[in-house]
Amino acid sequence: MKQYKYFKGGVKVPHYKNSENAETKIMPIPDIIEIPMLHHIGAPCVPLVKVGDYVMVGQKIGDSDKFISSPVHTGVSGTVKKISSVLFPNGMNVQSVVIETDKKQEIHPDVKPPVIESREDFIKAIRESGLVGLGGAGFPTNVKLNPPPGKTVDYLLINGAECEPYITSDYRETIENSWNIISGINIIMEYLEIDKVIIGVEDNKPVSVDVLTDIAKTSDKIDIMSLKSKYPQGAEKMLIYALTGRIVPAGKLPLDVGVIVLNVASVSFIAEYIKTGMPLTKKRITIDGGAVNTPSNIEVFVGTYIKEAIQFSGGFKEVPKKILMGGPMMGVSQFNLDSPILKQNNAILAFNEKQSILPEQTPCIKCGRCVRACPMNLMPVYFDIYHQYKDVEQLEKLDIMSCIECGSCSFVCPANRYLVQSIRNGKALVKAGGSKK
């Protein structure tokens, strides 16, 4: 087992992995699902169906001709009742397809294992699968696996860190579908001609490390690294440095240093898709938080409403005061329980009143803790100041756009400054002003 490198900054967060031993439960087919036309970074899809159409399992119901985009499929059979819209927490309205299910689960005739005879066939198949990054960012995987001319990739890194508190959906993937993970890795290695693979897993998951180490023995090209448990260990740039020692420069991508990073659930899905031809229509999510009865991991259809997923997992034991999609460090607060679950969602956290209390901000004491904690070597304290003055020039000079919004600065701030909110507002100012970078 190779030795990892320590990245600068980061914080020690409590784990709260209450659901780590909860085997994945399959949620029954809901009566209604609502599938948004956007589950990824990039251009939204356009519906390919209309009201009254009968749809079948695995059918493509949305697509786009834009380069950075990924098609959308239905995981249920039934009738399109409405072409609606979903209001995302960022204020964006996205078209959605509302389907009344018939529970017959008739499979669409296009669902069949893809014929792959070349690298190009493989990239095309991944696009047709609808796969996006399942670790939270949601970048279209076919784009990630298709480096532009002149970019040479020699490392495939598999992210099994899962460093956010509460979330255990990826951990359960490594326990329940470990052979799919290795199979998916081998498929990618074959078609992309990559011969060096490292799987990184935090050391607070010893069972996962042992399982993956055991099956990785089938290949002399796959290494396992047990990483120090430190947040944000699973962020791409931190993971790349920890596993390879390579530094991704500001404004550059992993491809610029010869690396592709994929989540464990993503490579596991690739293996399953190549075998069956069934596109991405389901998602394992962790349900947890002080307001829920039973911390659990469940598999749901993409488009299932949050309220139904929570009800299936055991319901609320008290009134939730905050609902998050994702973890407490980078998750997005939801304004109602009727939001549909997206492909890249890996957790729904329902916090009680005590967990939801937002501490009052006090003046910054210039202690520098946020600077020491920043894994990107930035200065969050000045982002906070210059965003208040709407000083776009200084925000750009201090490279605010390189912030990954991990929340480490807010976590350590003794003055409880709302630093991540300030940074997001500051980025919006830069974008509105026309960034020169």
The count of other CB atoms within 10 Å of the CB of residue 94 is 16
358 pLDDT above the threshold of 90: no
CA 274 to each of CA 129, 142, 171, 204, 222: distance values in angstroms, whole numbers, following the listed order:
9, 14, 22, 32, 21
- Residue 437: which pLDDT band, with cuts at 50, 70 and 90? very low
Q: Which residue has the higher pLDDT, 387 or 4?
A: 387
pLDDT higher than 80, residue 405: yes
Same domain, 264 and 396: no
Q: What is the pLDDT of residues 271-295, one digit of tens each?
A: 999 999 999 999 999 999 999 999 9
- Average model confidence (pLDDT) across the chain: 94
> Which residue, 306, 311, 335, 309, is CA-closest to 322?
335
Q: Beta-carbon neighbour count of residue 293 at 10 Å?
A: 13
**Local confidence band at 434 (pLDDT 50, 70, 90 cut-offs):** low
Is 17 in contact with 171 (CB distance < 8 Å)?
Answer: yes
pLDDT at residue number 77: 98
Domain stop point among 252, 276, 300: 276
pLDDT at position 4, please? 67
In a domain, 388, yes or no: yes
Same domain for 125 and 264: yes
In 3D space, the residue among 331, 290, 326, 328 whose CA is nearest the CA of residue 411 turns out to be 328
Does residue 253 sit in the same domain as residue 141?
Answer: yes
Global pTM exceeds 0.75 = yes
Percent of the chain's residues with pLDDT above 70:
98
Q: Which domain holds residue 424?
A: 369-433
Q: Is residue 187 part of a domain?
A: yes
Q: Could you give the 3-state DSSP secondary structure of residue 419?
A: helix
pLDDT tens by residue, 374-384: 999 999 999 99
* Domain contains 292: no
**Is residue 259 domain-shared with residue 378, that is, in the same domain?**
no
The answer to whether residue 8 is domain-embedded is: no
In this structure, are 132 and 264 located in the same domain? yes
Given 243, 276, 309, the domain boundary residue is 276
Neighbours of 298 (CB within 10 A): 23
Q: Please tell me whether residue 169 adopts helix, strand or coil conformation.
A: helix
10 lies in some domain? no
Among candidate residues 276, 302, 333, the one where a domain is terminated: 276
pLDDT above 60 for 1? no
| Domain CATH number, residue 182 | 3.40.50.11540
* Model confidence at 435: pLDDT above 80: no
How are beta strands 60-63 and 46-47 bridged, if at all?
A: antiparallel
Q: What is the pLDDT of residues 12-35, one digit of tens each?
A: 999 999 999 999 999 999 999 999
Residue 392 lies in a domain: yes
- Provide the b/e sequence for 409-423 (b: ≥16 CB within 10 Å): bbbbbebebebbebb
pLDDT of residue 277: 98
Q: Does 272 lie in the same domain as 373?
A: no
Q: What is the pLDDT of residues 131-190, one digit of tens each?
A: 999 977 789 999 999 998 888 999 999 999 999 999 999 999 999 999 999 999 999 999
Report the percentage of the chain scoring pLDDT > 90.
Answer: 89
Question: Domain tally for the chain?
Answer: 2
